[in-house]
Amino acid sequence: MIPAVLLVSAAALADEIVLIRLLSVRFWPHFVPMIVSQAMLGFGAAGVAIQLSRRGLGTRPHRAFAWSVLLSAPAFDLAYRASLRVPFDPFLLMWEPSAWPAFALFFCLLSVPFFLAGFAVSVPLAFSLGQPGAVYGASFAGSAAGALLALPAFSLLPTESLLRVPSCLCLCAAVFVLRGRAGRLRVGRAAAFAAFLLVLALPPPGPSPSPYKDLAATQRLPGARTLAVRSGPSGDYRALLAPGIHIAPGLSLRFDGDMPPQAAVFADGESRGIVPEGGGKKPPAYLDYFPAALAYRLVPGPAVLQFGLRGSEGVLAAARGGAASVTVVEPAPEYAALVADDLCAFAGGWPASLRPEILAEGARNVLARETRRFDVIEIAGISSPTFSSVGIHATGETFLLTREGIGAAFQRLSERGVLSITGWIKVPPRESVKVLRTIRAHLEGAGFSPASSRVLVIRGWASFAIAARRRPFSREDIAQAERHCDTMGFEVVWPPPVAAPGREEPERKAFREAAAAAVAGPAGGWEDGLFDLRPVTDDSPYFHRFLKFRSLPEFRRILGSQWVPFVEWGVVFLLLSLAVSLLLAAAFLLLPLAFASHRTGTGGIPSALYFTALGLAYIVIELTFLKLGILVLGDAIRAAAAAIGGFAFFSGLGSALSGRWESVRAMKGRIFPGIALLATAGFFLLTLAAPHLLACGGSWRVGAFLAALAPPAFLMGMPFPAALSRLSRTVPSAIPFAIGVNGFFSVAGATLASVGALWAGFRGTLLAGVALYLLAGALFGRLDSGARAGR
């Protein structure tokens, strides 16, 4: 039994991490809170189900355990396949009423494997089928193993086959339950096992991106064919070629030539760059016709640092700009290999005159570690006209565009060096203004005043380029920018032209005035306005979140039916998923308890508050560590594996040992204050150490991250079993109520942690979690107060 518990636990955790990738490709990368909610719903529902059917299960718990393990095996694969058949797409939630039940069904289906796995792990504990310590130990060791196994699987398996990992783990678990207690092989179980083996023989479903994603749109083009596929922990990368691909966002109207055939490159289904055919042999001329070329006009023969490989276009544009060298920071080695190796023949290799150095690290890691200085540092495409333009990344962490990130980029500029930032102009202006304010805040904070003389802004018909540096731009620099604009049909926005502009289009005027106000307007007052355009920091690194809740009534009032484009889709989806997950959690966790309360009993207000606080606090602290882990570890998947696996492991250890400290005195005097102290200390120490850690190697960073979370996670494993143990002695019939309430708020907590990080920052969110633990500590001694026993 113990090996089965270990393997099922590993499968459940691996499934969580695999789903993060699969749903990133299918929809977008910010499904982490929803997946955690689904897991919490499944586990919580399993706990409630066991408690409500204790009498029935109690007669044959071994059998229940065996079948829950067996059924888990195909569930991971089949639930995902079934979810593909649900006509759910996040984009439709706003427009089609039928999308809501589809979303609920989608949510439930992906919770089923967690329900079965949770059932399999909880039955031995509920019915004392083995030594509780051994069961707990197997469960937490399995969770850690699941996290460890998932990461190499990303490199070894194609994206579509990733679900093999939890399925195979569970099939291995099933081997241990094929025999009955007497040791005889059970025919029914063996037959089921054989049937479930066939699931592995099914061809894996494709990545099935939403039809609204860039990848799906390109796949529909006549003659589209896939040139290369790579995948790894950082993402799923695909290159497609089709005669209908013509991508050049913001290309000058002065360009009248032909563009070569292009291969489009996608990361998790979103457009991530272009590889022009034969560009390495002869970089195409159209690459000169973008505002981004400004940096190369200002600094001849530069040493260039680029963030993110944009296919081969970034390197080719640098070659056309006369760069002396180019270093590209690309955290995904798979993406770099796809462009440099798989597309080498198509691309014509790299230009002979400019072979890029590609650094496979996170942007902030390179900036922290690098000692060289560069003449041009490029951050391209901070806003785009495509899929991303609708705010789906509003809930995504972007540590390069924080005050700290921009400051680190300035540190690596040479004396003549220029920081170049480009993007698509939004109406009203948003990214452009926010990044200009961030630059200004850094420059003036570092003593380079006024910032207005150190910034140049130009625009094309729909895109902008910002050049910023510590030394003021000279008249000759500005004249050079004006010549570039005259040639290309662009215009200088800042510094303002000497001659006052005549009659201007509203959009042009708005952009010019917004840029001028950001660079040279009165400092402060940045809290005003309909959008949140304040510079962001590492504590809340949501550069693409502009929504202010207090602006929503104003949007409705002034925009009527047009308001949707100004509300970031990522935030909308986060809130919608919170609503759906709460409804489902109420239906599966609270409603059954309400119906059964006459026989199960209920807790009183203190116990309701206690389990509410625990449900919220645990997940809030875990996810806040996870988000900080994205900065420290360099990407979301590694952070998810380390945080979810680490918390499961250390909390499991704490749960297993909780019996030693479950007295009221120990819990109130040591455990809860200890959680508050260690969570706060671990988080703040990690935050303080982050600037230094970023320069260290990956294993050091993982070690430091786990060291920071381990002590609080260990203690956080204790309050739940300690409270159940206490209830079991006083009002045992209130245990289902406790499990249900805890599960409900765990489901809510996953999304609330993200909402908190967006508006209150990591520190505020973590401290809210700590306060909830302190509240729970105050209630621990009154758990049975007001509880009502069932019949």
Partner 1 sequence: MVTDQLKEEGISDTRVLGAMRQVPRHLFVPPGLRDLAYGPRPLPIGEGQTISQPYIVGFMTEILRLSPGDRVLEVGTGSGYQAAVAATIAAEVYTIEIVESLAAGAKRSLAALGFRNVHVRQGDGYYGWEDKAPFDAIIVTCAGGHIPPPLLRQLKNGGRMIMPVGGPFMTQNLVSIEKDGNGVVSARNVLPVAFVRLIGH
Per CB under 8 A, the list member of 84, 148, 172, 248 interacting with partner 1 is 248
> Which residues are bridge partners to 276 per DSSP?
262
Collapse the DSSP code of 534 into the 3-class scheme (helix H, G, I; strand E, B; otherwise coil) and give the result: coil
Among 120, 108, 98, 111, CA closest to 47? 120
Q: Applying CB under 8 A, does 732 fall inside the site for partner 1?
A: no
Closest approach, Cβ 401 to partner 1, in A, equals 20
- Pick the binder of partner 1 from 127, 212, 661, 759 (CB under 8 A): 212
Pick 174 or 572: Cβ nearer partner 1: 572
Residue 211 is a binding residue for partner 1 (CB under 8 A): yes
The whole-angstrom separation of Cα 47 and Cα 51 is 6
CB 218 within 8 A of CB 274: no
- Shortest reach from residue 252's CB to partner 1, in Å: 9
The answer to whether the beta carbons of residues 368 and 408 sit under 8 Å apart is: yes
Q: Which two tokens stand for residue 725?
A: 């143990």
Instruction: Indicate whether 251 belongs to the interface with partner 1 (CB under 8 A).
Output: yes
Asked if 357 interacts with partner 1 (CB under 8 A), we say no
- 94 counts as binding partner 1 under rule CB under 8 A: yes
At closest approach, how far in Å is the CB of 259 from partner 1? Answer: 8
260 makes contact with partner 1 (CB under 8 A): no
Shortest CB 255 distance to partner 1, Å: 6
Distance CA 746, CA 751 (A): 9
Q: Which one among 59, 371, 561, 699 touches partner 1, defined by CB under 8 A?
A: 561
Give the list of residues 6+ apart from residue 771 with CB closer than 8 angstroms, or none.
Answer: none
Q: Which residues contact 678 (CB under 8 A, 6 or more apart)?
A: 711, 712, 715
Instruction: Say how far apart CA 332 and CA 233 lie, in whole Å.
Output: 8
Q: Is the dihedral of CA 233, 239, 244, 250 positive or negative?
A: positive
Is residue 350 part of the contact set for partner 1 (CB under 8 A)?
no
Binding flag, residue 445, partner 1 (CB under 8 A): no
677 scored as a contact of partner 1 (CB under 8 A) = no
Q: Does 786 bind partner 1 (CB under 8 A)?
A: no
The region of 218-226, 349-357, 476-484, 697-705 touching partner 1 under the rule CB under 8 A is 218-226
Residues 6+ apart with CB under 8 A from 503: none
539-558 footprint of partner 1 as x/- string (CB under 8 A): ---------------x---x
Please count the residues of this chain forming the interface with partner 1, following the rule CB under 8 A.
Answer: 61
Which part of the chain contacts partner 1 (CB under 8 A), choosing from 139-147, 220-228, 308-316, 710-718? 220-228
Asked whether position 221 contacts partner 1 by CB under 8 A, the answer is: yes
564 binds partner 1 (CB under 8 A): yes
How crowded is the C-beta side of 85, counted as CA atoms within 13 Å? 5
Which range, of 13-21, 86-94, 329-337, 467-475, touches partner 1 by CB under 8 A? Answer: 86-94
Stretch that binds partner 1, among 250-258, 297-305, 466-474, 696-704 (CB under 8 A): 250-258
Instruction: Give residue 218's Cα distance to chain centre.
Output: 25
Stretch that binds partner 1, among 31-39, 200-208, 251-259, 627-635 (CB under 8 A): 251-259
Among 470, 471, 508, 763, binds partner 1 (CB under 8 A): 508
Q: At what angle do helices 698-716 and 605-633 cross, to 10 degrees?
A: 170
Q: Which stretch binds partner 1 (CB under 8 A): 150-158, 254-262, 434-442, 676-684?
A: 254-262
Using CB under 8 A, pick the residue from 184, 198, 201, 256 that binds partner 1.
256
**Looking at beta carbons only, is 357 or 554 nearer to partner 1?**
554
Residues 462-491 that bind partner 1 (CB under 8 A): 462
CB 437 within 8 A of CB 571: no
With respect to partner 1, which residue has the nearer C-beta, 508 or 788? 508
The nearer residue to partner 1, 9 or 210, going by C-beta atoms, is: 210
In angstroms, give the least distance from the CB of 452 to partner 1: 22
8 A C-beta contact, residue 93 and residue 573: yes
Q: Per CB under 8 A, does 510 bind partner 1?
A: yes
Q: Which tokens go with 180? A: 């009955």
Q: Is 100 in the site for partner 1 (CB under 8 A)?
A: no
560 binds partner 1 (CB under 8 A): yes
Tokens of 718: 């204790």
Helix (H) or strand (E) holding 688: helix 672-693
The DSSP string of 552-592 is HHHHHHHHGGG-GGGS-HHHHHHHHHHHHHHHHHIIIIIHH
Detail the DSSP E strand segments found in 165-269: 225-232, 235-241, 262-267
Q: Pick the binder of partner 1 from 96, 341, 357, 486 (CB under 8 A).
A: 96
* CA 733 to chain centroid: 40
- 746 touches 619 (CB < 8 A): yes
The least CB distance from residue 380 to partner 1, in Å, is: 13
CA torsion angle 681 687 689 690 (round to 10): 150
Q: Which of 428, 495, 691, 781 is the binder for partner 1 (CB under 8 A)?
A: 428
Among 322, 565, 691, 790, binds partner 1 (CB under 8 A): 565
Residue 610 Cβ vs partner 1, minimum distance, rounded to whole Å? 44
Output the smallest distance, CB 315 to partner 1, in A: 20
Element (H, E) at 377: strand 374-379
- The answer to whether 386 contacts partner 1 (rule: CB under 8 A) is yes
User: β-strands 303-307, 374-379: how paired?
Assistant: parallel
Q: Is residue 524 a contact point for partner 1 (CB under 8 A)?
A: no
At closest approach, how far in Å is the CB of 558 from partner 1? 5
When asked if residue 605 is in the footprint of partner 1 (CB under 8 A), the reply is no
Give, for 218, the enclosing helix (H) or strand (E): helix 214-219
Compute the distance between CA of residue 645 and CA of residue 639 in angstroms, rounded to an integer: 10
243 near partner 1 (CB under 8 A): yes
Is 559 a binder of partner 1 (CB under 8 A)?
Answer: yes
Contact between 61 and partner 1 per CB under 8 A: no
Are the C-beta atoms of 76 and 167 separated by less than 8 Å? yes
Angle between helices 2-26 and 61-84 (to 10 degrees): 10
Does 225 sit near partner 1 (CB under 8 A)?
Answer: no
Task: Give the number of C-alpha atoms closer than 13 A to the C-alpha of residue 734, restricted to the C-beta side.
Answer: 25
Options 167, 312, 388, 602; binder of partner 1; rule CB under 8 A = 388
If binding is defined by CB under 8 A, does position 521 make contact with partner 1?
no
Q: Least distance from C-beta 271 to partner 1, angstroms? A: 9
Residues 338, 333: Cα–Cα separation, whole Å = 9
Residue with tokens 């019949």: 791
Please name every residue paired with 420 in a beta bridge, in sequence order, or none if there are none. Answer: 378, 467
Among 53, 58, 95, 698, binds partner 1 (CB under 8 A): 95
Whether 73 contacts 196, CB under 8 Å: yes
Angle at Cα 139 formed by Cα 16 and Cα 668, nearest 5°?
100
696 is an interface residue for partner 1 by CB under 8 A = no
Q: Does residue 249 interact with partner 1 by CB under 8 A?
A: yes
Q: Verify binding: residue 373, partner 1, rule CB under 8 A.
A: no
Stretch that binds partner 1, among 25-33, 63-71, 499-507, 584-592 (CB under 8 A): 499-507
Q: Classify 730 in phi/psi space as left (phi over 0), alpha (psi -120 to 50) or beta.
A: alpha
Residue 238 tokens, joined:
């695909």
Which residue, among 614, 571, 623, has the nearest Cα to 744 in the 3D structure? 614
Q: Report the chain's C-alpha Rg in angstroms.
A: 28
Residue 119 Cβ vs partner 1, minimum distance, rounded to whole Å: 38
| Residues between 273 and 332 with contacts to partner 1, criterion CB under 8 A | none
Instruction: Enumerate binding residues for partner 1 (CB under 8 A).
Output: 91-92, 94-96, 210-213, 216-217, 220-222, 243-251, 253, 255-258, 384-390, 392, 424-428, 461-462, 505-508, 510, 529-530, 554, 558-566, 569
